[in-house]
Amino acid sequence: MKTIKGPAIFLAQFAGDKAPFNSLDRIGKWAAGLGYKGVQMPSWDKRLFDLEKAASSKTYCDEVKGTLAKHGIEISELSTHLQGQLVAVHPAYDALFDGFAAPEVRGNPAKRQAWAIEQVKLAAKASKNLGLKNHASFPGALAWPYVYPWPQRPAGLVETAFDELAKRWKPILDVFDKAGVNICYEVHPGEDVYDGVTFEMFLERVGNHPRCNILYDPSHFMLQQLDYLGFIDAYHERIKMFHVKDAEFNPTAKQGVYSGYQSWVNRAGRFRSLGDGQIDFAGIFSKLAAYDYEGWAVLEWECCIKHPEDGAAEGAPFIRDHIIRVTEKAFDDFAGAGTDVAANRRILGISG
């Protein structure tokens, strides 16, 4: 068994124009002061990180690592959540997702898609230059507008969507394979890959690609009412990344999983800061440790009530207290008498 690394924190929700959130040095010092050992880096935020430079310059990557190392921090993984989302966008969401792209490709879906694909490929090279093994992303979505089967879906619609999704991602996965880096897709509503079944549909179409893996976030499973502990049993071999994010589901006579178009604070299912929700993190950390998960435990703060800085401050000790330092020997070794084949045969009544 392996001891999970952490605590780490995803910087996407914290980066901003005011200190200490407006530079890598300052935000690294802030995270270290809270007790974090790693940061998950949003690759699109140039206040903190230059993806293009990282893909082309190992010297720049060494400088980034050095900036963090002086605070006792390292990069856990890079993220292309926003760029990965743009690899596959249904036209219904063109206007909503256009802001994720560089200004020069907005309003042009074909150019936006090409830009997004190149961005994710750059992340493979940058990850290699940084010495990282795993990378976080979204797969995007073509079938999501049809997630509920009314009106009745035309035969083959979903299959065609997944065929196209795989067609777009297979060459990207090959680039990551060449770099020796896993893509870990966050299994998430709003993506075509949002639960175990849809992950399997995608995985099959990319030929069970060894670099096609999972970013496990139990909060999205809580909101779907999916067995998030059983998910680990089913997919632990593909789980290479872990977002530690809490959630709660409180159905009423008026709303359930779909939550009636309400704001986050008024939804039956909503995200909470660590310890304020209903997720069984003791069970999750135990299962991941038992299955030899060797990656990071990364706080992703998204809470509809608590201030983010309070959530970050509380998150580091919460994760640290849940990480299990795994044992190097069996608890009953003290009573062991060694192996004696002849004695074992006698005990079992086996003669000769």
| pLDDT per residue as tens digits for the range 81-114 | 999 999 999 999 999 999 999 999 999 999 999 9
Contact 76, 31 (CB under 8 A): no
Instruction: With a cut of 80, say whether residue 329 has pLDDT above it.
Output: no
| Domain-wise residue ranges, the chain | 5-347
DSSP string of 28-81, one letter each residue: HHHHHHHT-SEEEEETT-TTT--HHHHHH-HHHHHHHHHHHHTTT-EEEEEEEH
CA 20 to CA 30: how far, in whole Å?
7
pLDDT digits (tens, 9 = 90+) for 193-218: 999 999 999 999 999 999 999 999 99
Contact 296, 5 (CB under 8 A): yes
Strand (E) or helix (H) holding 123: helix 109-130
Contact 165, 140 (CB under 8 A): yes
Spacing of C-alpha 238 from chain mean position: 12
CA 127 to CA 54: how far, in whole Å?
8
The token duo for 53 is: 């430079």
Q: What is the pTM for the complete model shown?
A: 0.95
Architecture of domain 5-347: Alpha-Beta Barrel (3.20)
Would you place residue 1 in the very low, low, confident or very high pLDDT band (cuts 50, 70, 90)? Answer: confident
The crossing angle, in degrees rounded to 10, of helices 196-205 and 228-235 is: 30
Strand (E) or helix (H) holding 223: helix 218-224
Instruction: With a cut of 90, say whether residue 347 has pLDDT above it.
Output: no
pLDDT digits (tens, 9 = 90+) for 4-57: 999 999 999 999 999 999 999 999 999 999 999 999 999 999 999 999 999 999
Q: Which burial class, exposed, middle or buried, applies to 98 when counting CB atoms under 10 A from its CB (0-12, 13-18, 19+)?
A: middle
